[in-house]
């Protein structure tokens, strides 16, 4: 079994490489991403690897159009919560046409025995105009609450 820290590291490497498909593949087929404090235009929840893939592909397309790029993870602090769970405090460094920004995050991950993300709860402050296009309706539960 990959431990949750290894799974987090694999997922962030995919994000930094701009690999939306690889990032989605770090999730279980029925994996869930939740954004409890989602900004307007951002889904509260996605369920399923393909919904996650479509959403992240849209984010990366929007970032590319805006001249943005994720370039690094900074100041990560991992808090193990048992065998399958992890809380991580970190910032993602992003370049923009006007400079560099640090985006603060706190994420909670629950991973499966085979090293996939079953649930990711993501608490973040989005870039001011970075909300992606609405998530596809197929396979998602955007806007739903648990």
- Under DSSP, is residue 125 helix (H, G, I), strand (E, B) or coil? coil
| Domain locations in the chain as residue ranges | 4-124
pTM attached to this predicted model: 0.83
Measured CA to CA, the distance from residue 31 to residue 111 in angstroms comes to: 9
Is the confidence at residue 135, as pLDDT, over 70? no
DSSP 26-77: TEEEEEEEE-TTPPTTS-SEEESHHHHHHHHHHHHHHHHHHT-EEEEEEEEE
Query: Half-sphere exposure of residue 91, counting CA atoms within 13 Å on the CB side?
Result: 11
Q: Is the pLDDT of residue 95 over 60?
A: yes
- Summarised one tens digit per residue, pLDDT across range 23-61 is 999 999 999 999 998 888 889 999 999 999 999 999 999
The rounded distance, in Å, linking the Cα atoms of 22 and 16 is 11
Pick the CATH number of 4-124 from 3.10.450.50, 3.40.120.10, 3.30.70.360, 3.40.50.150: 3.10.450.50
**What does the pLDDT read at residue 41?**
82
Query: What was the pLDDT predicted at 125?
Result: 65
Task: Using pLDDT thresholds of 50, 70 and 90, give the confidence band for residue 134.
Answer: very low
């Amino acid at each position: 079994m990959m431990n949750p820290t290894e799974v987090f590291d694999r997922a962030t490497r995919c994000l930094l490489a701009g690999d939306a498909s690889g990032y989605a593949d770090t999730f279980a087929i029925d994996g869930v991403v939740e954004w409890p404090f989602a900004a307007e235009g951002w889904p509260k929840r996605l369920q399923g690897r393909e919904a996650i893939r479509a959403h992240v592909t849209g984010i990366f397309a929007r970032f590319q159009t805006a001249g943005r790029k994720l370039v690094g993870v900074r100041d990560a602090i991992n808090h193990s919560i048992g065998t399958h769970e992890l809380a991580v405090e970190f910032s993602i460094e992003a370049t923009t046409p006007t400079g560099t920004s640090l985006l603060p995050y706190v994420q909670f991950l629950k991973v499966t025995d085979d090293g996939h993300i079953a649930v990711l709860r993501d608490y973040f402050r989005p870039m001011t105009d970075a909300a992606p296009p609405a998530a596809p309706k197929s396979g998602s539960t955007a806007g739903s609450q648990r």
